[in-house]
Structure 1
């Protein structure tokens, strides 16, 4: 079992404020951008599901069985969707090369064990010409803000394996994605729309 299995029943309660004030706004903006056969990374309790476009075909993965069970319950209201839930990590996905048209990642790379290798794995399973949509948080370049993020990580990393001080742009560049669009969102969150070139 993962640490997320142990906190799964309380996860939405713990993050209710962050979800309401920040993450839900991002989901409303970026989740509807998915097209074609889509992979949704580390879906947690499935808060992206309600914003999938009608008739979407999506594979949802998470390393926590208990979190996936909650996500499945949230999917019951979306009879129009073709969903498949798979218990696996981002670091080692059981998919063939170039499987997906779109890969969606919202608040994921703070928690993967090896973000550089994980991003290469994302690139592997994305089709040539496919799109990656990443909404991630990390260091800001502001000394005071980043100091607070380091302090916060002293709590979040032991409890949930979540680092506040990572650099998602470095992982994207490491995988040699073509960045089509990126920008600042709120707090320490940024978005990146990337493409896998032929």
Structure 2
């Protein structure tokens, strides 16, 4: 069992404020941009599901079985989707190379064990010409804000495995994705739209 299995039934309540003020806003913008056969990374309790476009075919992975169980319950509200749920980490996905048209990653790379290895794994399973959509948080370049993020990480990393001080752009560049678009969203959140050439 993972640490997320132990907190799964409390997860939505714990993060309800963040969802209402921030994450739902991001999901409304970026989740509908998926196209074709899609892989949704570390889906947690499945809060992206309500924003998938009609008739989407999505594979949802998460390393927590308990989180996936909650996501499956949420999926019952959508009968216009083809969904597959797989218990897997991002680092060790059970897919062949060049499988997916789109990969969706929302608030994921703060908690993977090896972000560089994980990003390379993501690139491998994405088709040539495929699109990656990343909404991630990390260091801002502002000394005071980043100091606060470092302090926060002392609490969040040992408790829920989430680091506030990562550099998602570094992982994207290390995998040699073509960066199509990126920008600042809110607080320490950024978005990155990439393509595999």
Please confirm whether the aligned pair reaches a TM-score higher than 0.5, indicating the same fold.
yes
Structure 2: distance between partners of 1:46 and 1:165: 25
The correspondence of residues 74-85 of structure 1 with structure 2, limited to 5 A, is 74-85=74-85
Output one character per residue of 1:25-60: Cα deviation in whole Å (capped at 9) or x when no partner. Answer: 000000000000000000000000000000000000
The unaligned stretches of length 5 or more in structure 1 are none
Question: How much does 1:161 deviate?
Answer: 0.5
Question: How much does 1:118 deviate?
Answer: 0.2
Q: Which residue of 1 aligns with 2:25?
A: 25
Output one character per residue of 1:140-161: Cα deviation in whole Å (capped at 9) or x when no partner. Answer: 0000000000000000000001
Q: Which residue of 1 aligns with 2:195?
A: 195
Say yes or no: does 1:147 pair with 2:147: yes
The correspondence of residues 121-160 of structure 1 with structure 2, limited to 5 A, is 121-160=121-160
Question: How much does 1:109 deviate?
Answer: 0.1
Say yes or no: does 1:6 pair with 2:6: yes
How many residue pairs end up in the alignment? 197
Structure 2: distance between partners of 1:50 and 1:97: 28
Structure 2: distance between partners of 1:177 and 1:52: 24
The unaligned stretches of length 5 or more in structure 2 are none
The alignment's TM-score, normalised by the length of structure 1, stands at: 0.99
Task: Supply the RMSD in Å over aligned alpha carbons.
Answer: 0.2
The correspondence of residues 1-198 of structure 1 with structure 2, limited to 5 A, is 1-197=1-197
Query: 4+ residue stretches of structure 1 with deviation over 3 A?
Result: none
